[in-house]
Amino acid sequence: MGAFVNLETTKIGFIGFGNMASAMADGWIASDAVLAENMCACAGRFDALKVRCEERGMHALENAEAVVEASDVVIIAVKPYMIERVLGPVAQLLVDKVVLSVAAGWDCESYERVIPGARHLSTVPNTPVAINEGVITCEKASTLTEDDHALVFALLDLLGTPVEVETRLLSVAGTVGGCSPAFIAMVIEALADAAGSHRPGLVDQMGIFIVPEGLHGQLWGNPWYKTVFLFLQKIAVHDGVEACGGACNDAGAAGGSGSHQIAVAQTMLHDFLPKLCPTTLR
């Protein structure tokens, strides 16, 4: 694979085509940089797969072997418990491919046991990739070559913001990335409901414009922004490790110890909250 990345000719295949895989396909198609006709997929229910692929202009294939043979980049998007059973029969075919995993809980070491010799990267995206506004948590450890890395990150850049983290942070950082939009949406809904209970008719205005814009302003011009990161630090703890950064003494210490991990949390919220604000959707 040369240093020049030509996405228009890159063949992408999905092994598994559920919500996340569909969202990624939609994002690539929407980017206009990846051709739908250059993407294919296989899944357990072929009839449903065929419909989902045809409405996108993609190719529905019968099995994983056909997908691997037709692709340059293979996306592993089956349920985690199915990976060994699905990839075992095509392990040798995958050695000549770039493998991108979106299966939760499967890191570089795990894939080395199942597809040794393959060039693979483990990621945890979230569904806003469908509108090119996702956050894709990527494990720093991988077996990609330099050219593979350039190709994969060129593709991921089309879907939003890739964020590289250490292996120990992969799952929990991905969880924060996936859950934070839902928590913020709950805050918006609660504030809108509270306003509507006192002033009927304000619910739509509060939920669609006033509350999101208020949060947007707070994030970009107020120390409250950093307070959110401290909150994330408290809730995103895994095996005793503070996944979103080292301890901060107060809301103003975000640049201190653990600044790289805090930057991960910053990137996640920085990318998510604008999507809830109408001005960013115009």
The pLDDT of residue 12 = 98
What residue segments make up the domains of the chain, in order of their start? 7-165, 172-281
Tell me: pLDDT of 279 over 60.
no
Helix (H, G, I), strand (E, B) or coil at 45: coil
Range of weakest confidence among 44-53, 70-79, 82-91, 225-234: 225-234
pLDDT band at 190 (very low <50, low <70, confident <90, very high): confident
pLDDT band at 259 (very low <50, low <70, confident <90, very high): very low
Count of CB atoms situated within 10 Å of the CB of 117: 12
The pLDDT of residue 4 = 59
The pLDDT of residue 127 = 85
pLDDT in tens, 169-179: 888 877 777 77
Looking at residues 80-99, what average pLDDT do you find? 95
Helix (H, G, I), strand (E, B) or coil at 42: strand
Region label for 57, one of left (φ > 0), alpha (ψ between -120 and 50) or beta (otherwise): left
Q: What percent of the chain has pLDDT over 70?
A: 65
How far is 21 from 54, CA to CA, in rounded Å?
15
Which CATH number describes the domain made up of 7-165? 3.40.50.720
Tell me: pLDDT of 255 over 50.
no
Helix (H, G, I), strand (E, B) or coil at 236: coil
- Which of 269, 257, 226, 264 minimizes the C-alpha distance to 243? 264
The pLDDT of residue 216 = 58
Range of weakest confidence among 14-23, 70-79, 229-238: 229-238
Instruction: Share the mean pLDDT of the chain.
Output: 77
Tell me: pLDDT of 152 over 80.
yes
The pLDDT of residue 251 = 31
The tokens describing 146, both together, are 């330099």
Question: Residue 200 gets which letter from DSSP?
Answer: T
How far is 143 from 24, CA to CA, in rounded Å?
22
Q: pTM value? A: 0.71
What are the counts of helices (DSSP H) followed by strands (DSSP E) for the chain? Answer: 13, 10
- Which of 195, 189, 180, 196 minimizes the C-alpha distance to 268? 180
How far is 212 from 162, CA to CA, in rounded Å?
24
